[in-house]
Amino acid sequence: MPAAVSTVLDHNHPLVSGVTAESPLVRAYQGVRQKRTPVWFMRQAGRSLPEYRDLRVGVRMLDACLDPELSSEITLQPVRRHGVDAGIFFSDIVVPLKLAGVDVEIIAGKGPVFAHPIRTMEDVLSLPDLDPAALDPVREGVAHTVAELGATPLIGFAGAPFTLAAYLVEGGPSKDHIRARTLMRSQPETWTALMGWTAHITGKFLSAQVEAGASAAQLFDSWAGSLSRADYVRYVAPASVRAFDAVRNTPYTVGGETRHVPLIHFGLVGPQLLPEFRTLGTERRFVDAVGVDYRTPLDEAAAQLGSDVTLQGNIDPALLAAPWDRLADDTHEVLRRGRSARSHVANLGHGVPPETDPTVLTRLVELIHSIDVDTLTHASPQSSSTQKAAAP
Protein backbone atom coordinates (compact mmCIF):
# COMPACT_ATOMS: atom_id res chain seq x y z
CA MET A 1 0.00 0.00 0.00
CA PRO A 2 1.40 3.47 -0.87
CA ALA A 3 2.83 5.60 1.91
CA ALA A 4 0.48 8.05 3.62
CA VAL A 5 0.26 11.56 2.21
CA SER A 6 1.36 14.48 4.39
CA THR A 7 0.49 18.15 3.95
CA VAL A 8 2.71 21.13 4.75
CA LEU A 9 1.69 24.79 4.54
CA ASP A 10 4.25 27.34 3.36
CA HIS A 11 4.52 30.94 4.55
CA ASN A 12 2.34 32.23 1.69
CA HIS A 13 -0.63 30.07 2.60
CA PRO A 14 -3.60 32.33 3.53
CA LEU A 15 -3.93 30.66 6.94
CA VAL A 16 -0.22 31.05 7.72
CA SER A 17 -0.05 34.64 6.44
CA GLY A 18 -3.19 35.48 8.39
CA VAL A 19 -5.30 36.46 5.38
CA THR A 20 -8.08 33.95 6.19
CA ALA A 21 -7.08 32.81 9.68
CA GLU A 22 -9.63 35.03 11.44
CA SER A 23 -12.36 34.76 8.81
CA PRO A 24 -15.82 33.99 10.24
CA LEU A 25 -16.01 30.67 8.39
CA VAL A 26 -12.64 29.31 9.52
CA ARG A 27 -13.20 30.35 13.13
CA ALA A 28 -16.72 28.89 13.13
CA TYR A 29 -15.32 25.56 11.97
CA GLN A 30 -12.77 25.78 14.77
CA GLY A 31 -15.54 26.19 17.33
CA VAL A 32 -15.67 29.95 17.80
CA ARG A 33 -19.32 31.02 17.64
CA GLN A 34 -19.98 33.97 15.35
CA LYS A 35 -22.54 36.69 15.98
CA ARG A 36 -23.33 36.64 12.26
CA THR A 37 -23.64 33.10 10.92
CA PRO A 38 -21.28 32.40 8.02
CA VAL A 39 -22.92 30.78 5.01
CA TRP A 40 -22.02 29.01 1.78
CA PHE A 41 -23.92 26.53 -0.37
CA MET A 42 -23.00 23.10 -1.62
CA ARG A 43 -23.06 23.09 -5.43
CA GLN A 44 -23.10 26.90 -5.36
CA ALA A 45 -20.64 27.01 -8.26
CA GLY A 46 -22.34 26.39 -11.58
CA ARG A 47 -25.66 24.73 -12.32
CA SER A 48 -28.03 27.55 -11.41
CA LEU A 49 -25.86 30.44 -12.65
CA PRO A 50 -26.36 31.74 -16.20
CA GLU A 51 -22.76 32.94 -16.29
CA TYR A 52 -21.66 29.37 -15.56
CA ARG A 53 -23.81 27.97 -18.35
CA ASP A 54 -22.31 30.52 -20.74
CA LEU A 55 -18.80 29.40 -19.83
CA ARG A 56 -19.65 25.73 -20.26
CA VAL A 57 -20.95 26.02 -23.82
CA GLY A 58 -18.98 23.48 -25.85
CA VAL A 59 -16.82 22.48 -22.84
CA ARG A 60 -17.09 19.03 -21.28
CA MET A 61 -17.41 18.84 -17.50
CA LEU A 62 -14.07 17.17 -16.82
CA ASP A 63 -12.32 19.55 -19.22
CA ALA A 64 -13.77 22.49 -17.28
CA CYS A 65 -12.57 20.97 -14.00
CA LEU A 66 -9.04 20.52 -15.31
CA ASP A 67 -8.64 23.94 -16.92
CA PRO A 68 -7.16 26.10 -14.13
CA GLU A 69 -8.59 29.36 -15.48
CA LEU A 70 -12.06 27.89 -15.98
CA SER A 71 -12.20 26.07 -12.64
CA SER A 72 -11.09 29.24 -10.89
CA GLU A 73 -13.59 31.49 -12.65
CA ILE A 74 -16.46 29.09 -11.96
CA THR A 75 -15.45 28.91 -8.28
CA LEU A 76 -15.42 32.70 -8.03
CA GLN A 77 -18.76 33.35 -9.75
CA PRO A 78 -21.08 32.57 -6.79
CA VAL A 79 -18.81 34.45 -4.36
CA ARG A 80 -19.15 37.58 -6.48
CA ARG A 81 -22.87 37.15 -7.07
CA HIS A 82 -24.12 35.96 -3.67
CA GLY A 83 -21.63 37.37 -1.17
CA VAL A 84 -21.15 33.97 0.51
CA ASP A 85 -18.47 33.51 3.16
CA ALA A 86 -16.47 30.90 1.25
CA GLY A 87 -15.73 29.54 -2.17
CA ILE A 88 -15.84 25.79 -2.71
CA PHE A 89 -13.36 24.68 -5.36
CA PHE A 90 -15.12 23.74 -8.58
CA SER A 91 -14.34 20.14 -9.44
CA ASP A 92 -16.00 16.75 -9.52
CA ILE A 93 -15.59 13.76 -7.27
CA VAL A 94 -14.26 11.63 -10.14
CA VAL A 95 -11.50 14.11 -11.07
CA PRO A 96 -8.79 12.33 -9.01
CA LEU A 97 -9.77 9.06 -10.66
CA LYS A 98 -9.44 10.67 -14.08
CA LEU A 99 -6.05 12.14 -13.14
CA ALA A 100 -4.86 8.72 -11.98
CA GLY A 101 -5.64 7.31 -15.42
CA VAL A 102 -9.01 5.64 -14.83
CA ASP A 103 -11.16 5.67 -17.99
CA VAL A 104 -14.17 7.74 -16.91
CA GLU A 105 -16.39 10.24 -18.66
CA ILE A 106 -19.27 12.32 -17.37
CA ILE A 107 -22.33 11.83 -19.56
CA ALA A 108 -24.90 14.64 -19.58
CA GLY A 109 -28.08 13.56 -17.83
CA LYS A 110 -26.48 10.40 -16.46
CA GLY A 111 -23.28 11.19 -14.57
CA PRO A 112 -19.89 9.45 -14.42
CA VAL A 113 -19.57 6.32 -16.55
CA PHE A 114 -16.57 3.98 -16.28
CA ALA A 115 -15.32 1.93 -19.21
CA HIS A 116 -14.01 -0.85 -16.98
CA PRO A 117 -15.82 -1.42 -13.65
CA ILE A 118 -13.73 -2.79 -10.79
CA ARG A 119 -15.10 -6.16 -9.64
CA THR A 120 -12.11 -8.43 -8.80
CA MET A 121 -8.80 -8.31 -6.97
CA GLU A 122 -7.06 -8.37 -10.34
CA ASP A 123 -9.03 -5.24 -11.29
CA VAL A 124 -7.97 -3.51 -8.10
CA LEU A 125 -4.31 -4.41 -8.53
CA SER A 126 -4.41 -2.97 -12.05
CA LEU A 127 -5.46 0.47 -10.79
CA PRO A 128 -2.71 3.05 -11.35
CA ASP A 129 -1.22 5.34 -8.75
CA LEU A 130 -1.84 9.08 -8.96
CA ASP A 131 1.32 10.86 -10.14
CA PRO A 132 1.68 14.06 -8.06
CA ALA A 133 2.46 15.98 -11.28
CA ALA A 134 -1.00 15.09 -12.62
CA LEU A 135 -2.47 17.29 -9.88
CA ASP A 136 -0.80 20.44 -11.22
CA PRO A 137 -4.00 21.74 -12.92
CA VAL A 138 -5.76 21.43 -9.55
CA ARG A 139 -2.98 23.23 -7.71
CA GLU A 140 -2.92 25.99 -10.32
CA GLY A 141 -6.69 26.43 -10.20
CA VAL A 142 -6.67 26.63 -6.41
CA ALA A 143 -3.74 29.07 -6.29
CA HIS A 144 -5.35 31.41 -8.82
CA THR A 145 -8.67 31.27 -6.98
CA VAL A 146 -7.10 32.00 -3.59
CA ALA A 147 -5.29 35.01 -5.01
CA GLU A 148 -8.61 36.41 -6.25
CA LEU A 149 -10.61 35.59 -3.10
CA GLY A 150 -8.37 37.51 -0.72
CA ALA A 151 -9.81 37.30 2.80
CA THR A 152 -12.62 34.97 1.72
CA PRO A 153 -11.50 31.38 2.39
CA LEU A 154 -11.58 28.61 -0.16
CA ILE A 155 -12.82 25.14 0.82
CA GLY A 156 -11.17 22.17 -0.84
CA PHE A 157 -13.21 19.06 -1.37
CA ALA A 158 -13.09 15.44 -2.40
CA GLY A 159 -15.42 12.49 -2.73
CA ALA A 160 -15.00 10.04 0.14
CA PRO A 161 -13.36 6.65 -0.51
CA PHE A 162 -16.66 4.76 -0.31
CA THR A 163 -18.41 7.00 -2.82
CA LEU A 164 -15.49 6.64 -5.25
CA ALA A 165 -15.35 2.89 -4.72
CA ALA A 166 -19.10 2.56 -5.25
CA TYR A 167 -18.85 4.38 -8.57
CA LEU A 168 -15.93 2.20 -9.65
CA VAL A 169 -17.71 -1.05 -8.80
CA GLU A 170 -21.09 -0.06 -10.21
CA GLY A 171 -19.52 1.40 -13.35
CA GLY A 172 -21.68 4.51 -12.97
CA PRO A 173 -24.45 6.01 -10.86
CA SER A 174 -26.65 3.67 -8.85
CA LYS A 175 -29.66 4.09 -6.56
CA ASP A 176 -28.87 1.23 -4.17
CA HIS A 177 -25.19 0.34 -4.82
CA ILE A 178 -25.99 -3.35 -4.79
CA ARG A 179 -22.83 -4.42 -6.62
CA ALA A 180 -20.63 -2.39 -4.29
CA ARG A 181 -22.32 -3.73 -1.17
CA THR A 182 -22.14 -7.27 -2.54
CA LEU A 183 -18.40 -6.95 -3.17
CA MET A 184 -17.96 -5.48 0.30
CA ARG A 185 -19.57 -8.45 2.00
CA SER A 186 -18.59 -11.32 -0.32
CA GLN A 187 -14.99 -10.33 -1.14
CA PRO A 188 -13.79 -8.37 1.90
CA GLU A 189 -10.11 -8.60 0.93
CA THR A 190 -10.81 -7.18 -2.51
CA TRP A 191 -12.99 -4.49 -0.98
CA THR A 192 -10.31 -3.52 1.56
CA ALA A 193 -7.72 -3.24 -1.19
CA LEU A 194 -10.04 -1.07 -3.29
CA MET A 195 -10.82 1.20 -0.33
CA GLY A 196 -7.12 1.53 0.40
CA TRP A 197 -6.55 2.73 -3.15
CA THR A 198 -9.44 5.22 -3.15
CA ALA A 199 -8.37 6.53 0.28
CA HIS A 200 -4.85 7.15 -0.99
CA ILE A 201 -6.11 8.93 -4.12
CA THR A 202 -8.55 11.04 -2.09
CA GLY A 203 -5.83 12.00 0.36
CA LYS A 204 -3.55 13.17 -2.43
CA PHE A 205 -6.36 15.20 -4.00
CA LEU A 206 -7.28 16.91 -0.72
CA SER A 207 -3.65 17.53 0.18
CA ALA A 208 -2.93 19.21 -3.16
CA GLN A 209 -5.81 21.64 -2.62
CA VAL A 210 -4.83 22.50 0.94
CA GLU A 211 -1.16 22.96 0.08
CA ALA A 212 -2.13 25.25 -2.81
CA GLY A 213 -4.17 27.53 -0.53
CA ALA A 214 -7.49 26.02 0.56
CA SER A 215 -8.31 27.09 4.15
CA ALA A 216 -10.56 24.09 4.95
CA ALA A 217 -11.36 20.70 3.41
CA GLN A 218 -14.63 18.83 3.11
CA LEU A 219 -15.10 15.14 2.41
CA PHE A 220 -18.37 14.27 0.66
CA ASP A 221 -19.64 10.73 1.20
CA SER A 222 -22.59 10.99 -1.13
CA TRP A 223 -23.66 7.35 -0.94
CA ALA A 224 -22.86 6.34 2.65
CA GLY A 225 -26.56 6.54 3.51
CA SER A 226 -27.04 3.19 1.75
CA LEU A 227 -25.02 1.45 4.47
CA SER A 228 -25.87 0.07 7.88
CA ARG A 229 -23.98 1.48 10.83
CA ALA A 230 -22.11 -1.81 11.31
CA ASP A 231 -21.01 -1.98 7.67
CA TYR A 232 -19.95 1.67 7.69
CA VAL A 233 -17.77 1.22 10.78
CA ARG A 234 -16.22 -2.03 9.57
CA TYR A 235 -15.81 -1.56 5.84
CA VAL A 236 -15.78 2.21 5.19
CA ALA A 237 -14.71 4.36 8.14
CA PRO A 238 -11.05 3.17 8.20
CA ALA A 239 -10.57 4.36 4.61
CA SER A 240 -12.12 7.75 5.38
CA VAL A 241 -9.78 8.03 8.36
CA ARG A 242 -6.84 7.47 6.04
CA ALA A 243 -8.11 10.03 3.51
CA PHE A 244 -8.58 12.64 6.23
CA ASP A 245 -5.18 11.81 7.72
CA ALA A 246 -3.57 13.36 4.65
CA VAL A 247 -4.70 16.81 5.83
CA ARG A 248 -5.70 16.22 9.45
CA ASN A 249 -3.66 18.07 12.07
CA THR A 250 -2.01 20.28 9.46
CA PRO A 251 -0.72 23.01 11.80
CA TYR A 252 -0.19 26.74 11.45
CA THR A 253 0.44 29.47 13.99
CA VAL A 254 -1.55 32.64 14.66
CA GLY A 255 -0.30 34.99 17.36
CA GLY A 256 1.62 32.21 19.06
CA GLU A 257 -1.41 29.87 19.01
CA THR A 258 -1.17 26.63 17.04
CA ARG A 259 -4.27 25.88 15.00
CA HIS A 260 -5.12 23.25 12.38
CA VAL A 261 -6.78 23.30 8.99
CA PRO A 262 -10.50 22.66 9.61
CA LEU A 263 -12.02 19.43 8.29
CA ILE A 264 -15.70 18.95 7.44
CA HIS A 265 -17.49 15.64 6.85
CA PHE A 266 -20.79 15.51 4.96
CA GLY A 267 -23.02 12.75 3.66
CA LEU A 268 -26.67 12.07 2.99
CA VAL A 269 -27.05 9.96 6.09
CA GLY A 270 -29.75 9.55 8.68
CA PRO A 271 -29.43 9.71 12.47
CA GLN A 272 -28.09 6.15 12.63
CA LEU A 273 -24.84 7.16 10.90
CA LEU A 274 -24.49 10.79 11.94
CA PRO A 275 -22.42 10.07 15.09
CA GLU A 276 -20.02 8.00 12.99
CA PHE A 277 -19.41 11.01 10.77
CA ARG A 278 -17.95 12.71 13.84
CA THR A 279 -15.74 9.81 15.00
CA LEU A 280 -15.28 7.64 11.87
CA GLY A 281 -15.42 4.57 14.06
CA THR A 282 -12.76 5.84 16.47
CA GLU A 283 -13.11 6.73 20.14
CA ARG A 284 -12.71 10.47 19.57
CA ARG A 285 -13.90 13.40 17.50
CA PHE A 286 -12.10 13.11 14.20
CA VAL A 287 -13.31 16.20 12.32
CA ASP A 288 -14.04 19.83 13.18
CA ALA A 289 -17.49 20.02 11.60
CA VAL A 290 -20.22 17.67 10.48
CA GLY A 291 -22.59 18.59 7.66
CA VAL A 292 -26.19 17.63 8.42
CA ASP A 293 -28.64 16.89 5.63
CA TYR A 294 -32.13 18.39 5.53
CA ARG A 295 -33.82 15.43 7.26
CA THR A 296 -32.35 15.84 10.76
CA PRO A 297 -33.05 19.03 12.78
CA LEU A 298 -29.83 20.63 13.97
CA ASP A 299 -30.73 20.54 17.65
CA GLU A 300 -31.33 16.79 17.37
CA ALA A 301 -28.01 16.42 15.56
CA ALA A 302 -26.27 18.44 18.28
CA ALA A 303 -27.74 16.18 20.96
CA GLN A 304 -26.28 13.17 19.13
CA LEU A 305 -22.91 14.66 18.25
CA GLY A 306 -22.03 16.53 21.44
CA SER A 307 -20.60 19.94 22.22
CA ASP A 308 -17.17 19.59 20.62
CA VAL A 309 -18.12 19.75 16.94
CA THR A 310 -19.43 22.49 14.66
CA LEU A 311 -22.58 21.79 12.66
CA GLN A 312 -23.10 22.76 9.03
CA GLY A 313 -26.47 22.97 7.31
CA ASN A 314 -29.28 22.36 6.83
CA ILE A 315 -31.89 24.41 4.93
CA ASP A 316 -34.03 22.16 2.74
CA PRO A 317 -33.06 22.78 -0.93
CA ALA A 318 -36.70 22.18 -1.90
CA LEU A 319 -37.62 25.45 -0.21
CA LEU A 320 -35.51 27.47 -2.66
CA ALA A 321 -38.47 27.20 -5.03
CA ALA A 322 -41.08 27.85 -2.31
CA PRO A 323 -42.64 31.24 -1.47
CA TRP A 324 -40.11 33.54 0.17
CA ASP A 325 -41.98 33.65 3.49
CA ARG A 326 -41.75 29.88 3.80
CA LEU A 327 -38.00 29.89 3.05
CA ALA A 328 -37.40 32.77 5.46
CA ASP A 329 -39.29 31.03 8.27
CA ASP A 330 -37.36 27.82 7.77
CA THR A 331 -34.05 29.70 7.69
CA HIS A 332 -34.78 31.35 11.02
CA GLU A 333 -35.68 27.96 12.45
CA VAL A 334 -32.47 26.36 11.16
CA LEU A 335 -30.38 29.17 12.69
CA ARG A 336 -32.31 28.88 15.94
CA ARG A 337 -31.68 25.15 16.16
CA GLY A 338 -28.06 25.72 15.16
CA ARG A 339 -27.61 27.54 18.47
CA SER A 340 -27.57 24.09 20.08
CA ALA A 341 -24.13 23.37 18.63
CA ARG A 342 -20.82 24.91 19.68
CA SER A 343 -20.87 26.83 16.41
CA HIS A 344 -22.83 26.79 13.16
CA VAL A 345 -22.13 27.34 9.47
CA ALA A 346 -25.33 27.84 7.48
CA ASN A 347 -25.72 25.79 4.33
CA LEU A 348 -28.26 23.71 2.50
CA GLY A 349 -29.04 20.17 3.55
CA HIS A 350 -27.78 19.08 0.12
CA GLY A 351 -26.80 20.86 -3.10
CA VAL A 352 -28.33 23.77 -5.00
CA PRO A 353 -30.90 22.42 -7.50
CA PRO A 354 -29.98 23.46 -11.07
CA GLU A 355 -33.32 25.21 -11.64
CA THR A 356 -32.87 27.53 -8.64
CA ASP A 357 -33.35 31.26 -9.25
CA PRO A 358 -29.94 32.77 -8.35
CA THR A 359 -31.61 35.89 -6.92
CA VAL A 360 -33.17 33.69 -4.23
CA LEU A 361 -29.73 32.53 -3.10
CA THR A 362 -28.45 36.10 -2.97
CA ARG A 363 -31.47 37.16 -0.93
CA LEU A 364 -31.02 34.16 1.36
CA VAL A 365 -27.40 35.12 2.09
CA GLU A 366 -28.52 38.65 2.91
CA LEU A 367 -31.17 37.29 5.26
CA ILE A 368 -28.75 34.98 7.08
CA HIS A 369 -26.23 37.79 7.48
CA SER A 370 -28.94 40.10 8.86
CA ILE A 371 -29.97 37.80 11.71
CA ASP A 372 -28.45 38.28 15.16
CA VAL A 373 -28.40 34.68 16.31
CA ASP A 374 -28.23 35.74 19.96
CA THR A 375 -31.86 36.82 19.64
CA LEU A 376 -32.82 33.31 18.52
CA THR A 377 -31.38 31.38 21.46
CA HIS A 378 -34.66 30.92 23.28
CA ALA A 379 -37.01 31.53 20.37
CA SER A 380 -39.94 29.29 19.64
CA PRO A 381 -40.52 27.99 16.11
CA GLN A 382 -43.41 30.40 15.66
CA SER A 383 -41.40 33.45 16.69
CA SER A 384 -39.38 33.41 13.46
CA SER A 385 -42.22 35.29 11.78
CA THR A 386 -41.39 38.36 13.85
CA GLN A 387 -37.80 38.19 12.67
CA LYS A 388 -38.93 37.68 9.10
CA ALA A 389 -40.55 41.12 8.99
CA ALA A 390 -37.09 42.67 9.02
CA ALA A 391 -35.80 40.41 6.25
CA PRO A 392 -34.65 42.00 3.00
Instruction: Give catalytic residue positions.
Output: 43, 47, 56, 92, 167
DSSP string, 41-60: -TT-SSTT-HHHHHHHTT--
Residues counted in the chain: 392
Q: Which of 190, 298, 238, 253 is nearest to 18 (CA)?
A: 253
CA dist 67 and 22 (Å) reads 30
Contact between residue 42 and residue 51 where contact means Cβ atoms under 8 Å apart? no
Cis peptide before 314 (omega within 30 of 0): yes
Classify residue 139 as exposed, middle or buried by CB count within 10 Å of its CB (0-12, 13-18, 19+): middle
Q: Which of 156, 56, 171, 159 is nearest to 102 (CA)?
A: 171
Contact between residue 286 and residue 306 where contact means Cβ atoms under 8 Å apart? no
Helices vs strands, H then E, count in the chain: 17, 11
CB burial readout 13-43, b (16+ within 10 A) else e = bbbbeebbbebbbbbbbbbebbeebbbbbbb
